[in-house]
Amino acid sequence: MASISRQLLADHVYQYLVGQLTAHSLPIGSHVNALVIAEELSISRTTVNKAVARLIEDGFVRPDSRSRPVVVGYPSPRPVPEVVNFSFANQTEQTYEALLEGILRGNYHPGEILKERRLARELGVNPVTVHRAAERLNRDGLLERRRRRGWQVVKLRVGDLREIYRIRLMLEPLGVPKATARISDATLDELEQEADRLIALGERSSVYERRQADYHLHRSLYEASGNRILGETLDPLIRKALLMTTVGFRYGRISRSFEEHKEILRALRRREPAEVTRWLKAHLKAAMTFNITAWKDGADSPPAEGG
């Protein structure tokens, strides 16, 4: 792992994008697509959006008629910053992202014990950094501390899954009215493209791809609501539900799940909060029923269904 400065991750992404603009790698009029950039750099879209907001403040980027950020100008000529090798701006943040991705990809299985020193060697950081990242995942509800043994990936029971969906059914609709009014057309475009792609792929899509697309939809809703407390409450619940999927599980309703996403998106485009709420609840209830049944039928193999 390369040497990493101590500036905030969003600041580092900002400098990276400024370098892209200085080098004219992003043409005038091009869409600064936060989702694509986040995937390229293996970081969260929220972090990229913070950096893009600074570019808007600087006047290099401006929302177009569809509220998509597009390039409208370049920085004054100056030495072009190094933009080839992107690295995280904070080792703890990098380690957290690496462990989170490992959990959601299924590289670390529910119930598995993770040792700090072994992870430190694998990731090229010191054990203290791993400990700090693991504490964050503990607050997310994805890791549990096991005294003298390390950190255990949470292994949830079917009852936990049922309660997670019941709480989400109560909480997620709370953000719908504001989200419906505030979510941008650009975000809706991204979400619809994701849904269409996964419907087309069907069972050829990976569990990780479906996890990411499902997380993207539900996260976009609470982010658009502007309710920080709601987001902080929902995020670990959504991640826990996603954690209960495994790569080897046989899939059951992939296309139907993302068709439900599209119904939610259509209602959002029409700015109809009651319809958004109706489809959101239907989607969560269908996912809950399917997942609980699949969990019971599959014994120790949890379901791979989003929602």
pLDDT tens sequence across 86-127: 454 467 777 887 888 788 777 888 889 999 999 988 888 788
pLDDT at 37: 84
Give the confidence band of 306 by pLDDT, cuts at 50, 70, 90. Answer: low
142 in the same domain as 194 = no
Instruction: Let me know whether 123 and 207 are in one domain.
Output: no
pLDDT of 244 over the 80 cut: no
Distance CA 149, CA 99 (A): 17
Residues 148, 162 within the same domain: no
Per-residue model confidence as pLDDT tens digits over 152-161: 998 777 888 8
Written as one letter, the residue type at 251 is: Y
Same domain, residue pair 146 and 165? no
Does residue 288 lie in a domain region? yes
Judge whether 245 and 211 are in contact, CB under 8 Å.
Answer: yes
Are the CB atoms for 20 and 36 separated by under 8 Å?
no
Confidence label for 85 from pLDDT (cuts 50, 70 and 90): very low
CA distances from 105 to 97, 185, 209, 210, 304 (A): 12, 29, 9, 11, 12
Whether 48 and 61 map to the same domain: the answer is yes
Structural domain harbouring 246: 158-297
Region 118-142 average pLDDT:
86
- pLDDT at res. 77: 64
Q: Are 193 and 134 in a shared domain?
A: no
Give the model confidence (pLDDT) of 186-229 as tens digits: 999 999 999 999 888 887 777 777 888 898 999 999 999 999 99
What secondary structure letter does DSSP report for 31?
A: B
Burial class (CB in 10 A: 0-12, 13-18, 19+), 234: buried
pLDDT at residue 80 above 70? no
Across all residues in the chain, what is the average pLDDT?
Answer: 82
38-47, 72-81, 89-98, 141-150: the lowest-pLDDT one: 72-81
pLDDT at 78: 54
Quick one: 209 and 265 in the same domain? yes
Q: Say yes or no to pLDDT of 1 above 60.
A: no
Domain tally for the chain? 3
C-beta separation of 81 from 40 below 8 A: no
Q: From CA 295, how far away is CA 304, in angstroms rounded?
A: 10
User: pLDDT above 90 covers what percent of the chain?
Assistant: 36
Same domain? 23 vs 102: no
Q: What percent of the chain has pLDDT over 70?
A: 83
Q: Which of 66-70, 78-82, 245-249 has the lowest mean pLDDT?
A: 245-249
Same domain, 204 and 219: yes
Reduced to 3 states, what is the DSSP secondary structure of residue 61? strand
Residues in a beta bridge with 69: 63
Residue 126 lies in a domain: yes
> CA-CA-CA-CA torsion for 269, 270, 275, 281, nearest 10 degrees?
0
Question: Domain containing 60 — which CATH number?
Answer: 1.10.10.10
Quick one: 125 and 166 in the same domain? no
Domain end (from 106, 134, 153): 153
- The predicted model gives 265-285 an average pLDDT of 97
Q: What residue type is assigned to position 290 of the chain?
A: F
The domain that contains 261 carries what CATH number? 1.20.120.530
**32-42: average pLDDT:** 80
